[in-house]
Structure 1
Amino acid sequence: MVESTYIQGYGIHYVGALSKIPKSNEKLQPLYEALTNSLEAIRLLSTKSEQGVIKIKLHYTKGLFDTYEFYSISIEDSGIGFNNDEYERLINLNDTRKGFNNKGSGRVQFLHFFDKTEYTSIFEDKSSSTGFRQRKFTLSKSPAFLRYNAIIRHDSLIETNAKSPTTTIVLSSILNDKDRKFYNELSISELKDNIINRYLPFFCENRDALPRIIIEKLSQLETLESREILPSDIPTIDKQDDIIVHYCKSSNDGKSIERIQKSEKLNIKGFKIDKSRLQKNSLKLTSKGEIAKEIKLDSMLVDDEIDGNRYLFLISGSYIDERDSDNRGALKIPTIEEFRSKSSEVSWLFGEEEIVLDDIREKANEKVLAMYEEIAKRSTQKLEEVEKLQKMFLLDPNSIKEVKIKLTDTDEDILEKVYRADAKLIARRDAEIKKRVDLLDNLDPNSPNFRDRFLEEVNELTRAIPQQNRTQLTHYVARRKLVLDLFGKILDRKLLIQNSDGRNLDEALIHNVLFQKGSDKPESSDLWIINEDFIYFSGSSERQLSKLKVNGKPVFKSEFTIEEDKYLLSLGENRKIKRPDVLLFPEEGKCIILEFKSPEVNVSDHLTQIDLYANLIRNYTQEYFQIMTFYGYLIGESIEPRDVLGRVSSYEHSYHFDYLFRPAEKVNGFDGRPNGSIYTEVIKYSTLLKRAKRRNSIFIDKL
């Protein structure tokens, strides 16, 4: 063969062909391609007197200030070498004759990353007088090569006195600055870990028969770092089993996807690895001994551990190998959505069959639970969590059955799935209701069976509407249930903030749950706990009397007589800035006053507070706000009936409903204003909670 000959491509235009094989996003891809070739070359040896050796060397030049600049990578192996058959396969871009399910395009990654890839390969050749020959050739996509429509240049072929085959590949002159920076910062320990993770399937299956893999970092002839991948670095397979996955095809009408009898058998291997060695639990597809794609492990969170271990699952099979692409590791296995999209194309309506990624994931996750009892127990715990959510949010059991809940699903994931199922049910019910209404419109009154048909459709309609209303009512009632649960926790002092702070926040917490301080939107409050009607009135929470407005109009007077001002500011007080906890105005001339007391405060010490607020509102409001009738509610938890009756004798005890009330009393009018009246109750938070729960439970029971 003529020396230094460019191997011109025929039937292929390399400039165009190379662009169709994209550069990998994995910056170690060219090294992986070379290492894969070395592993395969060692496996091709007809006799294996030794385990084989692969040496990976990263070469650096030493710069100023003891810095090192990446120069090249060399990978040396004791494999079969580039004999005539192997070399012939190399020079054909898509030749797959080597076996191992190769696509023959991995070498293109050398061209994308490095300007020059040089091979020196010694191989056994019986026609040689020494028994061995040495072949040198170079790969590049530089203009010097492409002008000959070539990416390979054969440099030499000579006889050699070598005693065994060996191949050295040198990747030099890196093309991209970002890639150069990556290799500059790459440590040998990091590279060792990356290689183990990448080839874990192959290493695990061949743990006791691995070639020696030595990794070195050098500057000139000085070794800066050295590591070796040892059998002790490779975890052992803990358990393995097979899974059967069926093919999918489009239905005859092209509207749905069907699983068919045809199937493939895949193997799943489980590894139980100490958490210090495995950073996350994972489930991965492997192709040709390498990690190809990670899919979601449904039965565990990524950082979960059981008895100090994490779990790795590897799925392999000839089907996956055959679906590998030109860009190694990019599997051509569609998701169900991708398959559904393709099945709508005309070419797919005639029997195209595929296995979808979703089915592999589902079958693999089922097998994980069957293989490991300790992981399966997590499934039971998840069911308990779902049951808690069901009770808390009154989730429809039918919707829960409709969705697939995974062990890794968060509460938000579960609720989102259930509510999505609810939405589908609502849509179906809406469509059914519309259908029934349309049928009513189209009935013929002159038809002999009109009356029977009419009654039938009305009955169907009356069945559909309550089902539709149920879903919306459920969310409404469930929210109220949560508020009541929170209110109960505050009264029982079970919130973390109530026990982690020296301040007593009970009253503020209660106030904000019932009606957010500073708010003027009762309709957004939870005052229904006290009385259902309260959320429909206008009003405000914790607002100064002097700044109080109703329907945009100021309630308090802006100017006062000398006598009024004297009183309002007497005894060192400013009565204008008093802040009733809640004021509500149900209609013209009426006002509801709510006062909340901390649960440990003796409520009887504050019996006259509401009377004062009523008097100020009666006498110092604008003329157009003539409030004559007041309703006061003094609410706390520490209520001793005899204290209340002993201090204000006009109160009476309502034994049946567990509260004290005072019938209408006079609210004195001053300066010519007529008297008003006030009705007052003194009641416990726990009594209000009990009443509200009883009201809400009526809805819950019906739901």
Structure 2
Amino acid sequence: MTLDIRGSIKNTKLSTNPYVVFEELLSNAIDSYLIRKASDPHAPDMHVEVEVTFVPAGLDENQEDMIVSCQDNGCGLGDEQLKAFLTKDTSYKDDLSISGIGQCKGAGRIQFFHHFSELLLESTYPDESSFTERKLHYLEPQKQIEAENFSSTPANRGRTGTRITLKQLKPFVHARVMRGDELSSLFSASALKKNVLLTFLQRLIGLDSSLGEFEINFSSQHWKKDAQNSTLKRSDLPNVTTVETVTAEEYNPATGERVADPQNFKISHYKLDAKLYDLPKNSIALCAKSSPVKDITSRYLRSKTEQNNPVGDYHHIILIESDYLDLRVNEQRDDFECIASEFMPGDMFSPDGISYAAIYDAIDPVIQEMVVPADWKKETVLKVVSNHFGISEDMLRDTSTRIVYGDTPLAVAERVLKKYQERVIDETAEIMSLKDEITRSEPDSDDFREKINELSWKYTASLKNIDMANLSQLIVRRAAIVQILDLACGKNLVMQNVDSDARRKDERIIHSIFFPMRKDSSEVSDHDIWLLSEEYHYYDYIASDLPLSKLTWDDGSKIFSEDVDQEIQNILLKRADENGGKRPDIAIFSKEGSAIIVEFKAPGVQMDEHIGDLQEYAYLLNAKSGGKLKKFYGYLIGDSVNTLRVGGSWTKFPMGNGWFLSSALNDPESGVKLGETYFEILHFKDVIERAKKRIGVYQGKLNLKLDFQEEDS
């Protein structure tokens, strides 16, 4: 029998858990006691002494080394235990059939050799009618440990059990695993007790009376500091607050078929009064063999402050256990193997079983109820998700996306859109497959129209997924534009907060919200002329504050030409020449002969002084277009008007503060009818109100509760 130290270190990875040596020592001590108790029902209660001595590392007293010792009153290192100690992949404990002893591969003690260069083992065990003391002294660079390396001598009847002492902590372990932290802080007596309570809580409670009225004593000594002592007793163990069992299931998102057997997970919640339990942190962990393995606290308590302090005056320990996890814990017992992050359809390399995503789907709702702070409101996150990203509650339900404590609105939006993207990809692949089948089918076959119907339904379903996201984004974007316009009209944008001597740009700002200045629709496709009317968004050509002579259709041809009827041209050319430099703020044209003229007036400017501008623009555009533009819609928009100067021909709107005028466009000199006009004088607040009502219809259909104004306040 030989334990190959170098080979074992090579084939067993260094654990990332800084307390792994203490946990392995204590775990072995518990197992050893249970073995003794099974053969001797009258054995005394379990008693374990854990001692840590901090010594200077070399001659430099600014650096620490430590000596770790663990003394138990277990069964001792008899012949069977010696065989197990010298066997790397042992099944010794598996065959004992003793309640509370978990399956074991014998890899835990390899961490002793990873961490320390020297090991002393002293054990007393009953040998028939007498007692034997067995000792081992291991010191690097010794490569192997064999049975011959142990000394065995008769011993007087004394304390049965084993003491393991570890010396010379390896510097690279201190740097890599302990991250260079002060050893005397990490492994003080009080710190060790707290860590053991967190780590062994479930196992100690599960063993119930098997350990008796146990005591685990911790002591630490430092060459410069006072000694510390702390004890963990059975009476220190809290009662479990809540135990719930959930079932995790994995389904193929494309087919809806179950891809693995369902697995049960037990969630044990310990809610500990912070005044009674001075713990260093909250702990939520996936467990194996009743011991925490994978810490997932940050999934539910996102900040370090929340993780390391009481939540609502309580520390929380939540332990998740499952046979599924027991079978997949790695040798270092600091993670699990062969559990995928999420199930990927069609991935031939995907491990068998359910994924972490399926596990979290099952346990998240339960744990969130256990640890969420009282001041956290899901509705607050939902509101931002809806306002900023256009994600409605219907979309959350449709994609089975939950908002959990610690979620950012961006994270929620990303999860929803990712699920829609995956659906679209899967559905597109199905559509392409159907298209291929259709191209190979015969139009006079019986299944031809069946395939066509199937394709149309699948295509319609995919459009729903695509359009749901796109339409929601559009509505949220428009709501934001309306809010910005509202702020600009009230001079409440940050950029409008200028010194009194600076030139104001209020009209320019408002103008640019509708349509970028000095641009046309050949350059800009992203604009917001819909604020006036939805149909204007789709006119053939839009120009903003550009010289009329430069305006062209999308095919490059001029909108306006000098070719007009000679009889009318002589009259109009003079007016057109005089106003050659005059142009509307925004002009919108259709090839059917209609034009929309928009004229903005800065807040405070009297609109009644510019009523004639609309009529002038109509004459001008009619003349310049050679009479092709005959229908003119004009908007004069501002916030100030002297109602006494608005002529009697204007009609006031039943709702709002604006007026409208519909009349023929006649040449004032010849009386010849040139076209028709429809003009409106509008207040900015009326335009804003109209826009809000339009997007409100879509908001209602999408169940988007947008309220930028309330959020800003």
TM > 0.5: yes
Match of 1:218 in 2: 222
Query: How far apart are residue 694 of structure 1 and its match?
Result: 6.2
Query: How far apart are residue 525 of structure 1 and its match?
Result: 0.7
Match of 2:85 in 1: 90
Query: How far apart are residue 676 of structure 1 and its match?
Result: 13
Query: How far apart are residue 482 of structure 1 and its match?
Result: 2.5
1:105 paired with 2:103, answer no
Tell me, in whole angstroms, the C-alpha distance in 2 between the residues paired with 1:592 and 1:529: 13
Counterpart mapping for 1:26-41 below 5 A: 26-41=17-32
User: Which residue of the other structure, out of 240, 243, 258, is the alignment partner of 1:241?
Assistant: 243
Q: Deviations over 1:201-252 (max 9, x none)?
A: 5235537955334252523xx44664636569977344233526589899xx
Match of 2:526 in 1: 524
Match of 1:482 in 2: 476
Q: Deviations over 1:346-369 (max 9, x none)?
A: xx9xxxx85665554444346557
Instruction: Indicate if the aligned counterparts of 1:602 and 1:639 stay in contact, CA closer than 8 A.
Output: yes
User: Which residue of the other structure, out of 62, 71, 76, is the alignment partner of 2:65?
Assistant: 71
Tell me, in whole angstroms, the C-alpha distance in 2 between the residues paired with 1:393 and 1:278: 42
Query: How far apart are residue 682 of structure 1 and its match?
Result: 1.7
User: Which residue of the other structure, out of 1, 6, 14, is the alignment partner of 1:23?
Assistant: 14
Compared CA separation, residues 399 and 485, structure 1 to 2 (3 A): closer
Aligned AA (2:497): R
Report the TM-score, using the length of structure 2 for normalisation: 0.66
**What SS does structure 2 have at the residue aligned with 1:106?**
coil
Compared CA separation, residues 298 and 105, structure 1 to 2 (3 A): closer
Tell me, in whole angstroms, the C-alpha distance in 1 between the residues paired with 2:347 and 2:592: 67
Counterpart mapping for 1:498-513 below 5 A: 498=492, 503=497, 511=511, 513=513
Tell me, in whole angstroms, the C-alpha distance in 2 between the residues paired with 1:462 and 1:248: 30
Structure 1 gaps, min length 5: 1-6, 445-449, 556-574, 669-674
Match of 1:329 in 2: 334
Compared CA separation, residues 529 and 175, structure 1 to 2 (3 A): same
Match of 2:660 in 1: 660
Tell me, in whole angstroms, the C-alpha distance in 1 between the residues paired with 2:593 and 2:490: 43
1:176 paired with 2:172, answer yes
Query: How far apart are residue 284 of structure 1 and its match?
Result: 2.0
Counterpart mapping for 1:680-691 below 5 A: 680-689=679-688, 691=690
Query: How far apart are residue 412 of structure 1 and its match?
Result: 0.8
**Aligned-pair identity (%):** 17
Instruction: Indicate if the aligned counterparts of 1:439 and 1:457 stay in contact, CA closer than 8 A.
Output: no
Query: How far apart are residue 71 of structure 1 and its match?
Result: 2.7
Counting matched residue pairs gives 633
User: Which residue of the other structure, out of 181, 200, 203, is the alignment partner of 2:201?
Assistant: 203
Tell me, in whole angstroms, the C-alpha distance in 1 between the residues paired with 2:488 and 2:73: 70
Match of 2:424 in 1: 423
Compared CA separation, residues 384 and 649, structure 1 to 2 (3 A): same
Tell me, in whole angstroms, the C-alpha distance in 1 between the residues paired with 2:680 and 2:6: 90
Aligned AA (1:174): K
What RMSD in Å do the two structures reach over aligned CA positions? 6.1
Match of 1:568 in 2: none
Tell me, in whole angstroms, the C-alpha distance in 2 between the residues paired with 1:692 and 1:111: 73
Q: Deviations over 1:527-583 (max 9, x none)?
A: 122133346555566x6979999799999xxxxxxxxxxxxxxxxxxx99x997546
Tell me, in whole angstroms, the C-alpha distance in 2 between the residues paired with 1:495 and 1:608: 23
Q: Deviations over 1:337-394 (max 9, x none)?
A: 579779789xx9xxxx85665554444346557x86x979999956994999499958
Instruction: Indicate if the aligned counterparts of 1:283 and 1:314 stay in contact, CA closer than 8 A.
Output: yes
Query: How far apart are residue 135 of structure 1 and its match?
Result: 1.3
**What SS does structure 1 have at the residue aligned with 2:114?**
helix
Instruction: Indicate if the aligned counterparts of 2:434 and 2:451 stay in contact, CA closer than 8 A.
Output: no
Match of 2:568 in 1: none
Aligned AA (1:216): S
Aligned AA (2:339): P
Compared CA separation, residues 365 and 94, structure 1 to 2 (3 A): same
Compared CA separation, residues 23 and 126, structure 1 to 2 (3 A): closer
Tell me, in whole angstroms, the C-alpha distance in 1 between the residues paired with 2:515 and 2:147: 79
1:284 paired with 2:285, answer yes
Tell me, in whole angstroms, the C-alpha distance in 2 between the residues paired with 1:38 and 1:376: 38
Query: How far apart are residue 292 of structure 1 and its match?
Result: 0.9
Q: Deviations over 1:130-181 (max 9, x none)?
A: x5625132164x3xx33xx558882644456794345131231515276379
Query: How far apart are residue 297 of structure 1 and its match?
Result: 9.2
Instruction: Indicate if the aligned counterparts of 2:312 and 2:374 stay in contact, CA closer than 8 A.
Output: no
Q: Deviations over 1:288-331 (max 9, x none)?
A: 34211245898886759974556442123555434433222333
Question: Quick check: 407-416 or 503-512, which moved more?
Answer: 503-512
User: Which residue of the other structure, out of 221, 230, 233, is the alignment partner of 1:228?
Assistant: 230
Question: Quick check: 83-92 or 390-399, which moved more?
Answer: 390-399
Match of 1:364 in 2: 363
Query: How far apart are residue 469 of structure 1 and its match?
Result: 5.3
Tell me, in whole angstroms, the C-alpha distance in 1 between the residues paired with 2:462 and 2:344: 34
Match of 1:119 in 2: 120
Aligned AA (2:266): N
Compared CA separation, residues 212 and 415, structure 1 to 2 (3 A): same
Tell me, in whole angstroms, the C-alpha distance in 1 between the residues paired with 2:25 and 2:322: 23
Instruction: Indicate if the aligned counterparts of 1:399 and 1:422 stay in contact, CA closer than 8 A.
Output: no
Tell me, in whole angstroms, the C-alpha distance in 2 between the residues paired with 1:424 and 1:108: 48
Aligned AA (1:29): V
Tell me, in whole angstroms, the C-alpha distance in 1 between the residues paired with 2:465 and 2:344: 34
Aligned AA (1:68): N
Structure 2 gaps, min length 5: 38-42, 94-100, 206-211, 499-504, 560-579, 669-673, 703-713
